[in-house]
Amino acid sequence: MEQSDAVRAVLAAAAGALVEPIDRIVIEMTELLLDEIPALPGDAEMVASLRSSVRSNVHTGTILLRGDIGLADVVIPDGAREYARALAQRGASVTALTRAYRLGQQMFIDRTIDALARQTTRPALLTAATHLLIELNFGYIDRISESVIDVYQAEREVWLSHRRTERAAVLERLLGAHAPDLAMAEATIGYRLRRRHLGLVAWTDETRAESSRLAELEAVVATLADTANAIDEPLVWLRDTSTLWAWLPVPSDTTIAFGRFDDALAELAEGIHVALGVPASGPAGFRDSHRDAVRAARVASTGEPKPRLTSYADTGVRTAALLAADLDEARRLVVSTLGDLAVDDPATAVLRDTLAVYYEENGSHLAAAARLHVHKNTVKYRITKAAELRGRPADVDRLDAQLALIATRFLGSAVLR
| Mean pLDDT, rounded, of the chain | 89
pLDDT of residue 207: 66
Burial of 90 (0-12, 13-18, 19+ CB in 10 A): middle
- Which CATH number is 4-160 given? 1.10.490
Q: Out of 39-48, 167-176, 311-320, 369-378, pick the least confident.
A: 167-176
Tens digits of residue pLDDT in 315-343 = 899 999 999 989 999 999 999 999 999 99
- Are the C-beta atoms of residues 39 and 118 closer than 8 Å to each other? no
pLDDT of residue 2: 47
State the architecture of 325-414 in CATH terms.
Answer: Orthogonal Bundle (1.10)
Residue-by-residue DSSP string for 328-364: HHHHHHHHHHHGGGG--SHHHHHHHHHHHHHHHTTT-
Tens digits of residue pLDDT in 231-244 = 999 999 888 888 89
Contacts 24+ apart (CB under 8 A), 27-31: 27/51, 28/107, 29/54, 29/58, 29/104, 29/107, 29/108, 30/54
Q: What is the CA radius of gyration of the chain?
A: 34
Tens digits of residue pLDDT in 9-53 = 999 999 888 888 899 999 999 999 999 999 999 989 999 999 999
CA distance 133 to 131: 5
Q: What is the mean pLDDT of residues 363-371?
A: 91
Q: What is the mean pLDDT of residues 118-124?
A: 90
Neighbours of 199 (CB within 10 A): 28
Q: At 372, which helix (H) or strand (E)?
A: helix 365-372
Peptide bond preceding 393: is omega within 30 degrees of 0, i.e. cis? no
- Are the C-beta atoms of residues 408 and 334 closer than 8 Å to each other? yes
CATH superfamily of 195-314: Reverse transcriptase/Diguanylate cyclase domain (3.30.70.270)
pLDDT of residue 9: 93
pLDDT of residue 204: 87
CA distance 290 to 200: 6
- Are the C-beta atoms of residues 344 and 411 closer than 8 Å to each other? no
CA distance 358 to 383: 8
- Are the C-beta atoms of residues 260 and 254 closer than 8 Å to each other? no
DSSP structural state of residue 176:
S
Indicate the angle between helix axes 94-119 and 78-90, nearest 10 degrees: 150
- Listed residue (385, 388, 316, 323) closest to 354, CA to CA: 385
Q: Out of 144-153, 301-310, 326-335, 401-410, pick the least confident.
A: 301-310
Where do the domains of the chain lie? 4-160, 195-314, 325-414
Q: Out of 30-39, 65-74, 215-224, 257-266, pick the least confident.
A: 257-266
pTM flag (> 0.85): no
Tens digits of residue pLDDT in 276-323 = 999 999 999 999 999 999 999 999 988 777 888 899 998 899 999 999
